Amino acid sequence: MPSSPPTTAAFDATHARNYDRQIEPIRGFKDALHLLVQGAFARLPETARILVAGAGTAAEARHLAPLHAGWRFTLVDPSAAMLDAAREHAEAEGFVDRCEFHVGWVSDLPVQAHDAATSLLVSHFLVDEQRRVAFFRDIADRLKPGGLLFSADLAADLEHPSFATVMDLWLTLYVAPERQDSYRAMFGHGVAAHAPAQVEEMMVQAGFAPPAACYQAALIRGWVTRKAAGSGLATCASPLAPSSPRPLPATPRPRPRS
């Protein structure tokens, strides 16, 4: 199943122009994520190739490029406008010659070419579970054996007693008061509301080792994992591949507000 969602129209030219400013209220969350990615990838070779899935305006590459002069980056994103902004940043900061920009899907890229991948604030746009699994599998297929993935996304256990408090924290920090009701209504529909355990299971289904949870900031969760040994191309019939996918834990749906 292709991992292309119908959600990316939102990342149009206007959004691309405003994105860096719009994300500013949670900049501290992103800074911490980038620090963790830096640590997770610290032992990669000097000539590593990094796949940046859903690269947006290149925040991940902008953090890593000055730290590793030999690393090369494949920035893939279905939004041409976001990648235009990414290219402008890369040019201004002097690492554009180490970047390849692909407007489109991860599945469009050559296979097994990368030492590591990031997917920051992307996979929650895949509300459908199997599409989200396919997105992770597309990344796994583009990693060398044992390649690393750092993934961070919105994830929430809607049944957990802490959910209301954590959602309230997220809304307070990130969503203007007049938009908070519509954000609550959108959560689980416009963006996925899969529980952290479900997201972990999706990564495993996609061919990664059980991920290590290493980050939470309000609704954002982060994991580091590795392409599992024996995880071949999803398109190949592999004797190691399960004959049918393991069922995912059920997705609790957001309760209607009274």
Ligand X SMILES: C[S@@+](CC[C@H](N)C(=O)[O-])C[C@H]1O[C@@H](n2cnc3c(N)ncnc32)[C@H](O)[C@@H]1O
CB 226 within 8 A of CB 43: no
Backbone angles phi, psi at 57, to 5 degrees: -90, 20
Give the total of residues touching ligand X (CB under 6 A): 22
Nearer Cβ to ligand X, position 151 or 231? Answer: 151
Scanning residues 165 to 224, which ones bind ligand X (CB under 6 A)?
A: none
Region binding ligand X by CB under 6 A among candidate stretches 52-60, 87-95, 163-171, 229-237: 52-60
CB neighbourhood size of 144 (10 A): 15
Give the tokens for residue 68: 């590793």
130 binds ligand X (CB under 6 A): no
- To the nearest 10°, report the CA torsion of 64, 43, 113, 37: -40
- What token pair was written down for 10? 């939102």
Q: How far is the CB of 230 from ligand X (least distance, A)?
A: 25
Site for ligand X contains 81 (CB under 6 A)? no
Residue with smaller CB distance to ligand X, 106 or 224: 106
The yes or no reply on residue 135 touching ligand X (CB under 6 A) is yes
The interface region with ligand X, picked from 2-10, 168-176, 177-185, 225-233 by CB under 6 A, is 2-10
CA atoms within 13 A on the CB side of 174: 20
Q: Which stretch binds ligand X (CB under 6 A): 47-55, 159-167, 189-197, 237-245?
A: 47-55
Min separation Cβ 245 and ligand X, Å: 19
Question: Should residue 148 be labelled a site residue for ligand X when binding is judged by CB under 6 A?
Answer: no
HSE-CB at 117 with a 13 A cutoff on CA atoms is 31
Q: Which is nearer to ligand X, 142 or 227 (CB)?
A: 142
Is 59 a binder of ligand X (CB under 6 A)? Answer: yes
Concatenating the DSSP letter of every residue in 173-222 gives HHS-GGGHHHHHHHBTTTB----HHHHHHHHHHTTBPPPEEEEEETTEEE
Classify residue 23 by burial, with Cβ atoms within 10 Å: 0-12, 13-18, 19+: middle
Identity of the residue, 79 or 231, whose beta carbon is nearer to ligand X in the bound complex: 79
- Per-residue x/- track, 227-256, ligand X (CB under 6 A): ------------------------------
SS (HEC) of 78-113: CCHHHHHHHHHHHHHCCCHHHEEEEECCHHHCCCCC
Q: Per-residue contact track with ligand X, 89 to 128, x per CB under 6 A?
A: ----------------xx-------------xxx--x---
Q: Considering the rule CB under 6 A, would residue 79 count as an interface residue with ligand X?
A: yes
List of residues contacting ligand X (CB under 6 A): 3, 5, 7-8, 11, 53-56, 59-60, 77-79, 82, 105-106, 120-122, 125, 135
